[in-house]
């Protein structure tokens, strides 16, 4: 749990979070705790993601009723779990026992358990391995036996055991001690209670927790956004050696249906949790869930993969360039094969069947677990997977079957486009036959958006395709005059005959990006979509250094002692191309070698207006060099960086590149405009810690800064704390859409969250969690104000913000600067 709740108008309580998990190399897993429970991953509901502290007896009863009436129980969901805030703030003074809040739970927890059990379901409860829970209610540290007996008397079936206010020294030995104490206490009660260890992956629980509990969190808390899900998959997927019946890696609860992701992303969320043999704990308000949400949550084929009695977490077969293949053996002898695409464009993901656990066979039967389609492949399992999508096949060896359709993949790429009259672009498609036998009369067609034209410039038909052969076609795209910038869909369909003359078709949607000339004004170049780019290592990075081969793996751009929040991180040889349409006049930037480079090499930075070099700078490691280029009237802008001979991989930066277009002048503000709220130039700007007994401190520092010459040094305790202040006068965020803050860590990375207080009663609103790893890493944390949620009945009034807080976790020094709104 990470979200913090206001205990009273001016009292802040601690957010429960953890440092990002550091993945250890595979090792022999410990023996599972012998309680006979959770032989398959638990399935159920938890109120926290959707309701936070707003949990009541009626809500839990409503969920239990819905489990039965909606079919959730029928497909395997059984645990209805109560999270934090169910108790009174103090224990019973005579017995020392935890006391259910009589307003929220008039029947008591035991009464709710009776209601849930009568439905054939089970009840879960929340406690904490510290002196207090994350929302400030009594913790169980030092009360393990009493609390375990209480839970057993109430007929609890599942315990989520959190990690706030833990008084820990941060050692793995302490984590093992605290979590073992409750595990043994539960065992002594004699009641079967599933034990869920929630310490956020801080102490690498996969290396020890199988002897203690039934499941353990491997990461910080999930958020309802793609970045969070992608990050958690990357951390949890490699931990497959540690999971098995009765002991599971837990990448946190499901966000399906909470509104922050697309249906494609939610299907990936569900698919990858199933492949990773993760607990499936619903975290949405089921009372208003859409039909689409329920369809995802009740997909019996995907659930069967998760609940397979063999109890094996999928092996990562391959993981490269944002594409991952997972292979999970099933008890009936089949395999579940997931083709996962974390990138932002459609991609063809494939794996030879012999590289999975499948035995060699004349053919393989593929059942798509989302569409239900059944096809047969000859040697390769493949699909065109949409951006952020996952295709899951159930696969078994077979012999070619005359009535089973062949597997055909249709993929492709689209170039970046510009508008008419110069408007044109290209699109390349590939239709590949992966099934047995021969396809006949193969034809590829494209459905374009209204007003667009698509013309084949190479053959779009072929009389036949044998197994593993492809039909590649090039197309010219005509862009209609007046088309606006954006992404446009093109549906590519391959039609073909197979078998005894049957006709089938396979379709894929590609998206082409249209760029237009920049509008009037001065803009950071990192906010303008380039026409195209090539880069020596990995992608060109926006507002961070190049880092390495993966996307978004760099830090804040740093040249010499200067740290920049805007710019382009590149690796030689590099070229970035922009369409200007003759509308722009000037480009300014600081250029240089990023401090991450370490090669000692120099690099040459050249700006081209059309084909003319209008600015050239050679930069050595050290201070940045200013560059000023006249691009008046140019249709095209090119930024080229090359390294010295033998130093081609040098990492460089185009820092704060500002493009001036139209009638804009040097005095016009640079868009997008951001307003700095706290810059710490005069000290700590009265920032402090929210929880005096939670540890941590603040001080002024000049060792890191992105705005001015000073920043805030926050010494974060292992358990984390909130850093910020309550304001004497309301702060007006105006029409701002995002909050930003620049961070640099000294340890392994950062987990955190942003919160604000609003109104005269200082109501607490929070959200927008983040997690990243990497010693000494730095980032600009950007979180939409829409990601911040308030308690029931409270509105986030952006004109009356009365407090701003940042949660920092994991121990060690964290440098923080330029909290701003934009």
**Listed range (30-39, 661-670, 758-767) with the worst mean pLDDT:** 30-39
pTM confidence score: 0.86
CA 560 to chain centre: 32
SS3 letters across 718-755: CCCEEEEEEEEEEECCCCCCEEEEEEEECCCEEEEEEE
Q: Which candidate in 128, 162, 252, 553 is catalytic?
A: 162
- Label residues 338-355 b or e (16+ Cβ within 10 Å = b): bbbbbbeebbbbbbebee
Q: What are the phi and psi torsion angles at 57 (to 5°)?
A: -60, -40
The mean pLDDT of 229-247, rounded to a whole number, is 95
Establish whether 221 is a catalytic residue.
yes
SS3 617: strand
Residue 780 scores a pLDDT above 70: yes
pLDDT digit string, tens, across residues 301-332: 999 999 999 999 999 999 998 999 999 999 99
Establish whether 84 is a catalytic residue.
no
- In whole angstroms, give the CA distance from residue 421 to residue 444: 28
Q: Show the beta-strand stretches assigned E in 415-449.
A: 424-433, 438-447
Domains of the chain with bracketed CATH: 43-309 (3.20.20.70), 318-401 (2.60.40.1180), 408-514 (2.60.40.10), 521-670 (2.60.120.1060), 675-821 (2.60.120.260)
pLDDT digit string, tens, across residues 354-391: 999 999 999 999 999 999 999 999 999 999 999 999 99
Per-residue confidence at 9, pLDDT binned at 50, 70, 90? very low
164 to each of 3, 198, 543, how far by Cα in Å? 11, 10, 34
pLDDT digit string, tens, across residues 421-458: 656 789 999 999 999 999 999 999 999 999 999 999 99
- In whole angstroms, give the CA distance from residue 347 to residue 357: 24
Q: Residue 681 contacts by C-beta under 8 Å, 6 or more apart in sequence?
A: 707, 708, 709, 710
760 to each of 53, 230, 726, 729, 789, how far by Cα in Å? 21, 38, 11, 10, 18
pLDDT digit string, tens, across residues 83-127: 999 999 999 999 999 999 999 999 999 999 999 999 999 999 999
Q: What percentage of the chain carries pLDDT values higher than 70?
A: 95
Q: Which candidate in 84, 221, 250, 597 is catalytic?
A: 221
> Closest Cα to residue 283, out of 17, 81, 71?
81
For residue 648, the model assigns a pLDDT of 67
Residue 718 scores a pLDDT above 90: no
For residue 415, the model assigns a pLDDT of 86
Residue 133 scores a pLDDT above 60: yes
**Contact, 715 vs 811, CB < 8 A?**
no
Q: 460 or 164: which carries more pLDDT confidence?
A: 460
Residues in the chain: 822
pLDDT digit string, tens, across residues 18-68: 333 333 333 333 445 678 999 999 999 999 989 988 999 999 999 999 999
Q: Which residues pair with 427 in a beta bridge?
A: 414, 475
Q: What percentage of the chain carries pLDDT values higher than 90?
A: 79
163 is written with which tokens?
Answer: 């990690």
Per-residue confidence at 134, pLDDT binned at 50, 70, 90? confident
SS3 114: helix
């Amino acid at each position: 749990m990470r979200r913090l709740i206001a205990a009273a108008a001016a009292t802040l309580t601690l957010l429960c979070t953890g440092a990002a998990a550091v993945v250890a190399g595979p090792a022999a897993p410990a023996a599972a705790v012998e309680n006979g429970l959770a032989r398959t991953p638990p399935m159920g509901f938890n109120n926290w993601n959707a309701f936070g502290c707003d949990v009541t007896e009626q809500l839990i009863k409503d969920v239990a009723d819905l489990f039965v009436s909606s079919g959730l129980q029928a497909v395997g969901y059984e645990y209805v779990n109560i999270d934090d805030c169910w108790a009174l703030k103090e224990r019973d003074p005579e017995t020392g026992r935890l006391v259910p809040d009589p307003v929220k739970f008039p029947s008591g927890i035991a009464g709710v358990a009776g209601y849930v059990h009568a439905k054939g379901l089970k009840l879960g409860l929340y406690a904490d391995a510290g002196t207090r829970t994350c929302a400030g209610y009594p913790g169980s540290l030092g009360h393990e036996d009493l609390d375990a007996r209480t839970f057993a008397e109430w007929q609890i079936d599942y315990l989520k055991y959190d990690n706030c206010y833990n008084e820990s020294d941060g050692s793995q030995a302490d984590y093992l001690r605290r979590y073992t104490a409750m595990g043994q206490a539960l065992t002594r009660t004699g009641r079967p209670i599933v034990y869920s260890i929630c310490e956020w992956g801080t102490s690498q629980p996969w290396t020890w927790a199988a002897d203690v509990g039934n499941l353990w969190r491997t990461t910080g808390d999930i958020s309802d956004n793609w970045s969070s899900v992608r990050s958690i998959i990357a951390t949890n997927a490699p931990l497959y050696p540690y999971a098995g019946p009765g002991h599971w890696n837990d990448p946190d609860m499901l966000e399906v249906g909470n509104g922050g992701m697309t249906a494609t992303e939610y299907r990936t969320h569900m698919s990858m949790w199933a492949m990773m043999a993760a607990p499936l704990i619903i975290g949405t308000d089921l009372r208003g869930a859409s039909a689409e949400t329920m369809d995802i949550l009740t997909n019996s084929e995907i659930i069967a993969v998760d609940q397979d009695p063999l109890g094996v977490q999928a092996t990562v077969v391959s993981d490269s360039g944002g594409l991952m293949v997972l292979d999970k053996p099933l008890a009936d002898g089949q395999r579940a094969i997931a083709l996962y695409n974390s990138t932002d464009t459609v991609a063809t993901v494939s794996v030879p069947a012999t590289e999975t656990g499948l035995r060699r066979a004349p053919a393989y039967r593929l059942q798509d677990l989302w569409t239900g389609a059944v096809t047969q492949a000859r040697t390769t399992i493949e699909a065109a997977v949409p951006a952020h999508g996952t295709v899951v096949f159930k696969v078994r060896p077979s012999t070619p079957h005359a009535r089973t359709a062949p597997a055909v993949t249709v993929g492709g790429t689209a170039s970046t486009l510009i508008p008419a009259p110069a408007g044109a672009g290209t699109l390349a498609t590939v239709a590949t036959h992966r099934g047995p036998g021969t396809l006949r009369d193969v034809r590829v067609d494209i459905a374009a958006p209204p007003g667009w034209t698509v013309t084949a410039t190479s053959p779009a038909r072929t009389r036949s395709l044998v197994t593993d052969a492809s039909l590649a076609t090039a197309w010219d795209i005509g862009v209609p005059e007046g088309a606006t910038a954006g992404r446009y869909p093109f549906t590519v369909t391959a039609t073909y005959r197979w078998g005894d003359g049957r006709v089938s078709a396979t379709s894929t949607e590609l998206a082409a990006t249209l760029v237009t000339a920049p509008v009037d004004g001065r803009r950071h170049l990192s906010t303008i979509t380039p026409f195209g780019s090539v880069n020596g290592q990995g992608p060109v990075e926006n507002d961070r250094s190049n880092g390495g081969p993966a996307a978004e793996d760099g830090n804040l751009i740093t040249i010499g002692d200067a740290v920049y929040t805007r710019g382009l991180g590149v690796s030689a040889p590099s070229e970035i191309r922009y369409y200007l349409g003759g509308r722009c006049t000037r480009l300014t930037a600081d250029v240089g070698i990023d401090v991450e480079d370490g090669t000692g090499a120099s690099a040459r930075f050249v700006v081209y207006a059309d084909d003319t070099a209008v600015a050239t700078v050679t930069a050595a490691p050290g201070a940045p060099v200013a560059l000023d280029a006249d691009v008046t009237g140019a249709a095209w802008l090119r930024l080229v960086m090359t390294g010295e001979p033998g130093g081609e991989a040098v990492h460089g930066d185009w820092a704060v590149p500002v493009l001036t277009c139209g009638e804009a002048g040097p005095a016009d503000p640079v868009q997008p405009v951001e307003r700095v709220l706290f810059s710490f130039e005069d000290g700590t700007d009265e920032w402090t810690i929210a929880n005096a007994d939670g540890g941590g401190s603040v001080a002024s520092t000049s060792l890191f800064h992105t705005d001015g010459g000073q920043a805030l040094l926050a010494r974060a305790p292992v358990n984390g704390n909130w850093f910020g202040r309550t304001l004497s006068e309301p702060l007006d965020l105006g029409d701002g859409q995002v909050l930003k803050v620049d961070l640099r860590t000294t340890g392994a990375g950062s987990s955190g969250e942003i919160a604000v207080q609003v109104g005269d009663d200082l109501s607490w609103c929070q959200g927008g969690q983040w997690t990243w790893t990497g010693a000494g890493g730095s980032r600009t944390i950007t979180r939409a104000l829409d990601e911040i949620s308030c308690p029931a009945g409270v509105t986030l009034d952006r004109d009356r913000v009365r407090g701003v807080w940042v949660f920092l976790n994991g121990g060690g020094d964290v440098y923080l600067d330029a909290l701003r709104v934009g």
